[in-house]
Structure 1
């Protein structure tokens, strides 16, 4: 004879959508950490492991590496757009937010090299799209007569030049080199920090 489970012994309810949302958030957070350190070519298995989920769960949310990268970089771009759209925020502050992302994430650097002047045939379309969004956000604040806005595409070339200088083992080294690169371009930037609204 089979005994029925008492209420305390029953299986927990399936969280369904809540679990899926938690898993996706954990995957994006893990991907941001892993990609910030290793770039967009970081192993997907490392992302799943860091998030505490199986690779099957990762692929359920993100069918390929491009989908993971797009989700990670979307947050960076959205923060720059929010800074550019905020009332009373000047160009120096926005460039500080952008530069903070450059010094924090090897993955983010890749989108500033995917601008309209990028002639590499293997650049994924989502990278070009994200780069265009960053450029549009920045152009809202750069005066038309500014050296970086004189010729279409020059602004993102300047950003790419700065990103090329963002090297070093520590955050302080990367920040110092980024500030020096902007200074050599004759551009003032604000504090290097995320945009907090």
Structure 2
């Protein structure tokens, strides 16, 4: 005998594209957090659990670890670019957003250390492109004649700071990042994510 479900027991209606966009955004946030806590080798199942979705949903959006890491990197860069494009943006404000991403995302630190090596994988080639976008977003706000304006000095300073971003907690990583910027005599605005 089959049991009929009562109206109370019915599954919620499929919310279609709305749920898909929410799930994808939750997965990117969860991946950033899990990668920051456990590195890029963290199990993808931990990301799905943190996002509150099943692994099937994760794989529907991100077929592999490379796609997941790329999505996190893309979101980090997009936020830095949005902060740079904001009316009245300053270099210190954009550096505050970028520094937040450094303290939150191990993958973002790797991105900023991407170089033009000849033997690049797909993710490395993508990372070089994204790193160039970060440099452009920062360079737009460098005052004329700034000491970081020389060809490689800006990204060298960023790489030096990102190398200092270590520690088991976000607070420790932020403290070290801000100390590194101070040592370089660079003013950094509030360390925060970019919010619309």
| TM-score band w.r.t. shorter chain | 0.7 to 0.9
Q: How many Å separate the matches in 2 of 1:17 and 1:87?
A: 32
SS for the counterpart of 1:148 is coil
What pairs with 1:88-127 in structure 2 (closer than 5 Å)? 88-116=88-116, 121-122=120-121, 124-127=124-127
Q: Does the CA contact (< 8 Å) of 1:84 and 1:138 recur in 2? A: yes
1:184 — aligned with what?
183
Q: How many Å separate the matches in 2 of 1:73 and 1:126?
A: 9
Report the CA distance between 1:170 and its aligned residue.
2.9
RMSD (CA atoms): 2.7
Q: How many Å separate the matches in 1 of 2:4 and 2:101?
A: 56
2:153 — aligned with what?
154
1:45 — aligned with what?
45
Q: How many Å separate the matches in 1 of 2:70 and 2:22?
A: 18
SS for the counterpart of 2:148 is helix
Q: Does the CA contact (< 8 Å) of 1:36 and 1:108 recur in 2? A: no
Q: Does the CA contact (< 8 Å) of 1:38 and 1:107 recur in 2? A: no
Q: Does the CA contact (< 8 Å) of 2:80 and 2:98 recur in 1? A: yes
1:23 — aligned with what?
23
Q: How many Å separate the matches in 1 of 2:105 and 2:86?
A: 23
Q: Does the CA contact (< 8 Å) of 2:32 and 2:104 recur in 1? A: no
Q: Does the CA contact (< 8 Å) of 1:80 and 1:134 recur in 2? A: yes
Q: How many Å separate the matches in 2 of 1:52 and 1:106?
A: 22
Matched positions, count: 195
The alignment status of 1:129 with 2:129, answered yes or no, reads yes
What pairs with 1:3-82 in structure 2 (closer than 5 Å)? 12-82=12-82
Q: How many Å separate the matches in 2 of 1:66 and 1:128?
A: 15
Instruction: Give the structure-1-normalised TM-score.
Output: 0.83
* Cα displacement string for residues 47-83 of structure 1 (whole angstroms, at most 9, x for unaligned residues): 1222233322211111121211121222221111111
- Distance 1:10-1:129 versus aligned 2 partners, 3 A rule: same
Q: How many Å separate the matches in 2 of 1:177 and 1:82?
A: 25
Instruction: Give the structure-2-normalised TM-score.
Output: 0.84
